[in-house]
Structure 1
Amino acid sequence: MKPSKEAIATWCQEYVANLLEMPVEAVDPDADFDRLGIDSALAVSLLIEVEERYGVDLAPEALFENPSINAVAAYLHAQSQRHVA
């Protein structure tokens, strides 16, 4: 069963909170990554973890085209639905 968009967003929010050493509730899933303090190195780290966790290949541009946790979750959810056998 594929994860829901909400489950992906929650995981990403928890991962980003851990990366930034801040409480999960302080990470606004609608905030742009740069506003959260996520630089390109942290964005790549998130990208790698998302790919491994959800088994979907994402181009690095995906994070720049979808620059918030909720946008990445929606994109990833759509991608994972395309890979359903």
Structure 2
Amino acid sequence: MNSDSIRQASAKEIEDWIVARIAEIVNMAPANVSADAPFDSFGIDSAKAISLMVELENWLNLPDELPLELLFEAEAIRDAATGIAAAVADMAAAQAEGSAAQ
């Protein structure tokens, strides 16, 4: 487990990060990537999706992996970001609880 603190990013910050990465992957301007579109509408293959999720986990400094379902099963990127933010908050709370117990 990573001993560094988890980045406390808001759902909007995560959304913006995902939009920017998708734009880079599919070679389009971030302004053309709608946060209201489902992730799978951008034609990103599973290898690139996993890579994106690993980069996101690293950016957030997470001690554990996020479920890919958070990205693939959300109605839209915005919803995925909200779900990811909630999962990150849960991880941060568990990390703080673990630290307090030591």
Equivalence for 2:56? 50
Confirm or deny that 1:30 pairs with 2:36: yes
Tell me by how many angstroms 1:37 deviates.
1.9
Q: How does 1:58-69 map to 2 (within 5 A)?
A: 58-66=66-74, 68-69=76-77
- Count of equivalent residues: 85
Confirm or deny that 1:20 pairs with 2:14: no
TM-score (norm 1): 0.84
Higher mean alpha-carbon deviation, 71-80 vs 53-62, is at: 53-62
Confirm or deny that 1:6 pairs with 2:16: no
Gaps of 5+ in 1: none
CA contact (8 A) 1:13 1:27 kept: yes
- Alignment root-mean-square deviation, CA: 1.7
TM-score (norm 2): 0.72
Gaps of 5+ in 2: 1-6, 97-102
